[in-house]
Chain A
């Protein structure tokens, strides 16, 4: 099916998320929409899917104008979507999720489960998936959950399939498999819209590329275009994709984690005998697919978790069993993976967020009151130093863009004297300009002789920053390898294949 978007404009208040975007996707084509986080790709697709209504413009399917008042209309017209955040109900089975909204029924509305299972099996067989229709979705790994999403769309005869950042949660192997599936679908006549910000994937699979920046189409390219060309189109200027790093000058062992185990209330193992050492002036990056214990590990180090055993020492001092406040005061800087939930108070101003960690004592408070003058001076200097784009220190942190929010967190955490720096997903949802800046700051922390622990699910980021790489899989560190380990080898480790 041919899909044409003509002059789509979508505004949210004063913000124009999509500005007269026109794209044509031919039948059987894999069309990549390339753009930074916040460029307006997801908004555009939500307009296509009927979740948002466009302020201007037209959607045409096979040259016929259509109007979708909701996702139901879009699906009936043959548009399917695999959302970035899966639209699956975790406590439902695969079959229940696939049939939801168009359930096969017998007499009186009773569900026809055998028929639903059969559909799941038929479609999975077509692509060689081995999916149990009766498995609960919450028990499945994310890569498999994504297949459920694809089957969900195909079970409604989707002729146009939109994949919104589908590789964000996948291992390199799973990404390769997904690309095979995409090619298979395209060969069968399905038009595919592939939304991403990863250049490598675009080059590998797309037939054509449209680049979106700040809500506008800024160009199109062939898959043969070089990474530098694509990146500068995407960002709007020349970008340097490599991180300048001095050779490692590692000092003594500083941060030592030994035999760390952690269980949830039901006795399920979350961390399984985790041990590693970071030397002064060294970056250890933890790679792995999301949900393999990285969150638990950083939170355990920060004293945010119960039922943790083992040992965590920083320069010889035991941290395990201390309160988060004591751990922070012993010189740990921490950038949490979810800055909106754990890193900032969105309703607070930038200035207030910058002093959150030292509200009890220190430079910002004097006895019972806050030293407002000092707080605001500090905020102004941090805004300057960290290039935080904001009207001023009294702006609510929640109103900033992802990159600027992250810089606020970074400014706060780097303003103490550090003995250890932990950054989890430091550049998730952050624009390319900010990524360069954040990476430079992390490297300068390392160069000042502080041990640095980075957790990232982005292999590119791991490879750019790490001096050594630890790969986590199912709560374990499956291996610790040098920074020059080939990508394919890391991919195997991330999938749990030890050497």
Chain B
């Protein structure tokens, strides 16, 4: 052998692979965990408030009342902080041994941080657990619908920037149709059609005329904002009784299940829009990953030419998939009006379509994870509302920021490098 490679410093040689270079240690996760653990221990614990905090787990009129949990805020946070620090130490040990840090460690440290945040902000006050969770779901509903639309679109290879426009179109159409026909059901149907139409415009321009998908999406958003603003001022504002008074969908408590403590009121006493959302997340996952249609959708989004060579019509698949994604986003728009405030308001989607896009990427193009990411958004918004209500001494904007920071860190650490479908945004042009 004339190989000149040295073998010094390498681990024990194996017959199959006599010398192996040792990869560098990766301390990313432990470093982030130590920041979280130290914040929990120092800021919420050592520098915290000694007064008691009350976690209210049920309302007075619940079927199964649970006693509130009362703990001294500072001591509670110190305990959580110490536990977090121990877990972080374990993470360092794992990293030194070149082993991965188990996911549960990161999740527990993150959860402790959030609980400590509540305990600290709510010191001397009470934390209404049910209100916070229910509100979080309510505030996330439209974003979750939007993120599902985004996941489906990107999976088939079309970047759907127009989710914002689809939500807004759905919100507008549902309010007007429900008011005019006096039928909430027709309002929901109309919202789906409205969202689908916006999607079809996106599909026609980006697939048939090969206009850049981002450009079409942005133009569509501006178009829908312009149109709804115009009709709102010109028609709706002066005739609100006729055109913008649809009413709201009733709450539908599910017998028995809605009596479960904490979870019952959060999950089983909701509007139809929320139940549809609960069902849609697993459905979209099942369709994408367990059905023929989903396999073809993903094939088209990953490698359109390969899909074409096995007889799949790429552009037809893209067109109909994007259209269906539009119906989902449109339905999400109805959740903003019929499923919430009961009227259309100017630009009421307020950027939720873009948050949904972020949720798609944070959720790694997976319906479950995207829904969780969207839920985090609603959770943060509701946290800020609650902190404002109890008059926390810390500036509300600063508090509102923390969940986002945690999310960003969590995503960068836990998720690692997210890989988008390979053909997102690329038109498929045949000779």
Contacts and interface: CB of A to CB of B under 8 A. Distances in A.
Contacts of B290: 110-111
Given A109-B291, A111-B291, A477 B311 contact: no
Contacts of B430: 51
A477 B6 CA distance: 11
A70 B307 contact: no
B24 A111 contact: no
B10 to A, nearest CB: 7
Contacts of B305: 87
B347 interface: no
Nearest to B286: A110
Contacts of B308: 51, 70-71
Nearest to B6: A259
A363 interface: no
Contacts of A269: 20-21, 23
A200 interface: no
Interface in B1-44: 1-7, 10, 17, 19-21, 23-24, 26
A87 B312 CA distance: 13
A334 to B, nearest CB: 23
Contact of A479 (B2, B293, B295, B422): B2
Given A269-B23, A273-B7, A110 B295 contact: no
Contacts of A271: 21
B24 A100 contact: no
Given A75-B311, A261-B21, A267-B23, A480 B292 contact: no
A415 B19 CA distance: 40
Contact of A101 (B6, B17, B310, B422): B310
A205 to B, nearest CB: 25
A446 B262 CA distance: 79
Contact of B24 (A73, A277, A307): A307
A71 B20 contact: no
Contact of B302 (A91, A273, A307): A91
Contacts of B311: 70-73, 75-76, 101-102
B295 A103 contact: yes
A293 B3 CA distance: 17
B97 to A, nearest CB: 13
Nearest to A113: B290
B306 interface: yes
A100 B291 CA distance: 11
Given A88-B306, A103-B295, A263-B23, A277 B4 contact: yes
A72 B311 CA distance: 4
A275 B4 CA distance: 6
Contacts of A152: 310
B136 to A, nearest CB: 33
A206 interface: no
Contacts of B419: 91
B307 A100 contact: yes
Contact of A480 (B2, B303, B309): B2
B359 interface: no
Interface centre among B24, B26, B311, B430 (most CB of A within 10 A): B311
Contacts of A212: none
Nearest to A116: B295
B5 A476 contact: yes
Given A100-B296, A263-B23, A269-B20, A71 B310 contact: yes
A4 B291 CA distance: 38
Contacts of A76: 311
A480 B4 contact: yes
Contact of B310 (A52, A100, A105, A498): A100
Contact of B299 (A100, A261, A481): A100
A273 B422 CA distance: 32
Interface in A244-261: 258-259, 261
B431 interface: yes
Interface in A90-116: 90-92, 96, 99-103, 105, 108-111
Contacts of B312: 72, 100-101
A173 to B, nearest CB: 17
Contact of A273 (B6, B24, B310, B431): B6
Contact of A275 (B6, B20, B98): B6
A480 B305 CA distance: 40
A498 B14 CA distance: 13
A271 to B, nearest CB: 8
B421 to A, nearest CB: 9
Secondary structure call for the A interface: mixed
Given A51-B309, A71-B308, A267-B26, A111 B295 contact: yes
Contacts of B292: 103, 105, 109-111
A480 B17 CA distance: 17
Contacts of A71: 308-311
A274 B19 CA distance: 11
Interface in B298-349: 298-299, 302-303, 305-313
Interface in A61-79: 70-73, 75-76
B299 A89 contact: yes
B24 A263 contact: yes
A111 to B, nearest CB: 6
A378 interface: no
A276 B6 CA distance: 11
Interface centre among A83, A87, A269 (most CB of B within 10 A): A87
A100 B305 CA distance: 13
Contacts of B298: 89, 91-92
A89 B302 contact: yes
B23 A49 contact: no
Contacts of B303: 87-90
A275 B17 CA distance: 16
A364 B4 CA distance: 42
Nearest to A98: B310
Contacts of A276: 4
A280 B372 CA distance: 61
Given A274-B5, A480-B4, A52 B306 contact: no
Nearest to B9: A259
B19 A272 contact: yes
B184 to A, nearest CB: 29
A488 interface: no
Contacts of A109: 291-293
A15 interface: no
A499 interface: yes
A88 B299 CA distance: 9
B42 to A, nearest CB: 32
A265 interface: yes
Contacts of B4: 275-277, 480
A105 B292 CA distance: 7
A268 interface: yes
Given A52-B431, A105-B292, A275-B5, A75 B23 contact: no
A254 to B, nearest CB: 15
B271 to A, nearest CB: 28
Nearest to B98: A267
B417 A477 contact: no
Contacts of A75: 310-311
A480 B26 CA distance: 34
A108 B298 CA distance: 18
Interface of A: 12, 49, 51-52, 70-73, 75-76, 81, 83, 87-92, 96, 99-103, 105, 108-111, 152, 258-259, 261, 263, 265-269, 271-277, 307, 474, 476-481, 498-499
Given A12-B431, A88-B306, A89-B298, 18 more contacts: A51-B308, A51-B430, A75-B310, A75-B311, A87-B306, A87-B310, A91-B298, A92-B299, A96-B295, A100-B310, A101-B307, A109-B292, A111-B290, A273-B6, A274-B5, A307-B24, A480-B2, A498-B1
Interface pairs A-B: 3 shortest CB-CB: A72-B311, A101-B310, A267-B23
17 contacts: A70-B308, A72-B310, A83-B309, A91-B302, A96-B295, A99-B295, A100-B296, A101-B307, A101-B310, A101-B312, A105-B292, A261-B21, A268-B23, A271-B21, A273-B21, A275-B5, A498-B1
